[in-house]
């Protein structure tokens, strides 16, 4: 808030960069003050990542200048930018999981800053000690000797931040930390923790915070800068803006009210699935749950809550070991994936790239991976039918580029997710759709389309089980919310009768 009284840490003047005919960033100017957290938002392709790459020395701008504390600088490579005290925490994890926290912080430090002693041998004591010092500075109590692979994601992010400011420690300027969607892989309670830690970074430097989650940006940042089509279209202070306005600035149109009309006609037909006292050792215990057709049930809980295991049990990947499961009112035994698909169950996993799709196959083949009868002639796959079926869905879901013969891995995340969902939606008897973080990593525009798909499934009387990225998402989309803690259902809310806040949910989660 007191930004105007402070020194400018970083300023960009009329930065422009083009790739071929495309102007990726067009005349962007901004000031970042010491002790300030600014948010940078924009759709995919708005120029956010290009701007970050300019700041981290990967790209050189065609026009414009960068000033650090009033002095013009030119970054020839990432090392220059690091040495100047700009640390970037990239969206992708950049830690070696087989090495310790301290080593991860040390390994990319240039010769001058590293802790090797005589004969080039490591001095582990010094490596650990200097890592502790940096960790302490950002308020983390992690043991530098811990192996990164043993850390929760939120702690890994702290290590990333520590690592990012580590290199610039030798420069005498206050660090500038750039965080590119640091919370996208975190659970709600972890996000809360990380947001708090980011706020603390104000004491030692300044932060550029990039996120797709608008409510989060407003929570964390002092000012918010909106990029659209490579241009800076708006700057807002956090007190003078709300999510709806940010959305409009970003996308260029009004956010549609996503609240749908609830259509719970207490029908006579048996629920899609009913669980009685379902348990699995080491995962969940005594779960009683009913999922009705045309309803969205959101399960919230921490990583250790057992909710992912519960979803896997329902889908039949890792079946439960005791209790009763009724599908359409009939008790089932020996549940497995084949039976679950037969019953019309579908799963959209959270690890899209690993579990949800076959990246090297064409989008068309992915689309017909499970329900392929419409693209077959007898027992054989007909390439022609495969294409026409896919073209239909591409049109229906506005999947771009309109080329189903392209390998799926070459589509953007949002379009990949549409294909993954369409794979299930094309089944006419889809009765339960399990969505494990369906919006993860999608920008608000793509997330909107995926949301519409979910609504469409619900209208078709599919029951939806949702593991949401954020509590807000769960509250917005769900008909009922189930809170799980330590493998048990700790609470449940019928959103037609009550409106819990995210704090209410958080309290039951931990």
Partner 1 sequence: MATKEPGNPGVNTAMIRIREGEIAKSTNWKRLAEPTSLIATLFALIIIFSLLNPRFLSVENLRNLTDQASLPLILSVGATLVILLGSIDLSIEGIMGSAAMTFVLLSANTRDSSDFGLLAVLAAIVVGIIFGLLNGSIVTKIKVPSFVVTLGMWFVGLGVATVLYGTETMPFLTNSDLTSWASTLSVGLPNSFWAAVVVVILGVTFVGLTKTGRSVMAIGNNENIARSAGLRVDRIKLAVFAIAGALSAVAGIIAAIKLGSGSPSVGLGSLFVTIPAVVIGGTALAGGKGGVLSSTLGVFILIILNNGLILAGVSPNFQSGIAGAILIGAIVVAAASQRDRLRIAK
Nearer to partner 1, 219 or 387 (CB): 219
By beta-carbon proximity to partner 1, the closer residue of 79 and 136 is 79
Q: How far is the CB of 48 from partner 1 (least distance, A)?
A: 19
C-beta of 41 vs 220, nearer to partner 1 = 220
Smallest distance, partner 1 to C-beta of residue 204, A: 18
Nearer to partner 1, 110 or 401 (CB): 110
Beta bridge partner(s), residue 492: 482
Minimum distance from residue 23 beta carbon to partner 1 (Å):
26
Residue 274 pairs in a beta bridge with 290, 326
The runs of H, that is alpha helices, within 405-509 are 413-425, 444-459, 471-477, 502-509
- Pinpoint the alpha helices (H) of 370-470: 383-397, 413-425, 444-459
Closest CB 441 distance from partner 1, rounded Å: 10
What residue ranges bind partner 1 (CB under 8 A)? 78-79, 93-99, 103, 107-108, 110, 114, 116, 120-122, 149-153, 155, 185, 188-193, 195-196, 215, 219, 302-304, 308, 350-351, 353-355, 471-472, 501-506, 510
For 79, the token pair is: 């090392």
Tokens of 9: 């840490």
**Residue number with CB closer to partner 1 (36 or 155):** 155
Residue 298 phi/psi, 5° resolution? -100, 130
Which run of H or of E encompasses 340?
Answer: helix 337-342
In angstroms, what is the minimal distance from the CB of 400 to partner 1? 26
Closest CA to 156 of 89, 79, 85: 89
- Both tokens assigned to 45: 């392709």
Cα–chain-centroid distance for residue 190? 13
CA 91 distance to own-chain centroid: 9
* Smallest distance, partner 1 to C-beta of residue 152, A: 5
Q: Which is nearer to partner 1, 192 or 320 (CB)?
A: 192
Least distance (Å) from partner 1 to the CB of residue 447?
Answer: 18
Contact 91, 138 (CB under 8 A): no
Which residue lies nearer to partner 1 by CB, 303 or 336?
303
Shortest Å, Cβ 394 to partner 1: 28
Question: What's the Cα-to-Cα distance from 425 to each of 384, 413, 428, rounded to whole Å?
Answer: 21, 18, 7
Cα–Cα distance, 197 to 201 (Å, whole number): 7
First and final C-alpha spacing in the chain: 33
CB of 141 or CB of 253, closer to partner 1: 141
């Amino acid at each position: 808030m007191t930004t105007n009284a402070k020194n400018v840490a970083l300023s960009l003047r009329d930065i422009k960069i083009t790739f071929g005919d495309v102007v990726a960033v067009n005349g962007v100017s901004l000031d970042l003050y010491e002790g300030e957290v600014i948010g940078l938002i924009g759709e995919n392709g708005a120029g956010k990542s290009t701007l970050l790459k300019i700041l981290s020395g990967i790209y050189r701008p065609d026009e414009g200048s960068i000033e650090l504390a009033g002095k013009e600088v030119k970054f020839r490579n990432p090392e220059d930018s690091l040495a100047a005290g700009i640390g970037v925490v990239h969206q992708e994890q950049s830690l070696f999981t087989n090495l310790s926290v301290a080593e991860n912080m040390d390994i990319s430090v240039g010769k001058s800053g590293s802790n090797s002693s005589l004969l080039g041998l490591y001095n582990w004591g010094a490596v650990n000690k200097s890592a502790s010092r940096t960790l302490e500075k950002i308020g983390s109590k992690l043991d530098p000797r811990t192996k990164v692979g043993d850390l929760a994601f939120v702690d890994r992010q702290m290590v990333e931040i520590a690592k990012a400011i580590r290199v610039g420690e030798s420069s005498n300027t206050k660090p500038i930390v750039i965080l590119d969607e640091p919370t996208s892989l975190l659970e709600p309670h972890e996000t809360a923790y990380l947001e708090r830690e980011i706020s603390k970074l104000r004491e030692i430097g300044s932060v550029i915070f990039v996120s797709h989650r608008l409510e989060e940006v407003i929570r964390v940042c002092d000012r918010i800068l909106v990029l659209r089509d490579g241009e800076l279209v708006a700057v807002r202070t956090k007190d003078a803006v709300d999510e709806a306005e940010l959305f409009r600035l970003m996308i260029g149109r009004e956010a549609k009210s996503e609240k749908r009309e609830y259509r719970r006609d207490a029908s006579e037909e048996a629920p899609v699935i009913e669980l009685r006292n379902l348990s699995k050792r080491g995962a969940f215990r005594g779960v009683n749950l009913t999922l009705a057709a045309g309803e969205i049930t959101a399960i919230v809980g921490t990583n250790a809550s057992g909710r992912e295991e519960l979803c896997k049990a329902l889908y039949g990947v890792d079946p439960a070991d005791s209790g009763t499961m009724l599908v359409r009112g009939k008790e089932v035994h020996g549940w497995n994936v084949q039976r679950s698909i037969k019953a019309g169950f579908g799963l959209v996993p959270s690890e899209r790239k690993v579990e949800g799709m076959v990246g090297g196959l064409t989008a068309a083949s992915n689309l017909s991976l499970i329900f392929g009868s419409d693209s077959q002639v007898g027992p054989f796959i007909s390439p022609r039918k495969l294409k026409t079926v896919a073209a239909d869905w591409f049109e229906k879901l506005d999947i771009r580029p309109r080329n189903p013969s392209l390998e799926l891995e070459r589509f953007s995340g949002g379009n990949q997710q549409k294909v993954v969902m369409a794979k299930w939606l094309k089944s006419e008897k889809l009765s339960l759709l399990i969505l494990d973080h369906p919006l993860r990593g999608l920008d608000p525009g793509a997330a909107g389309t995926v949301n519409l798909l979910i609504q469409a499934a619900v209208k078709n009387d599919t029951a939806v089980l949702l593991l949401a990225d954020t509590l807000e998402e769960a509250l917005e989309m769900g008909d009922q919310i189930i809170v799980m803690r330590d493998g048990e259902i700790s609470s449940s809310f019928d959103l037609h009768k009550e409106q819990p806040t995210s704090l209410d949910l958080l309290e039951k989660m931990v």
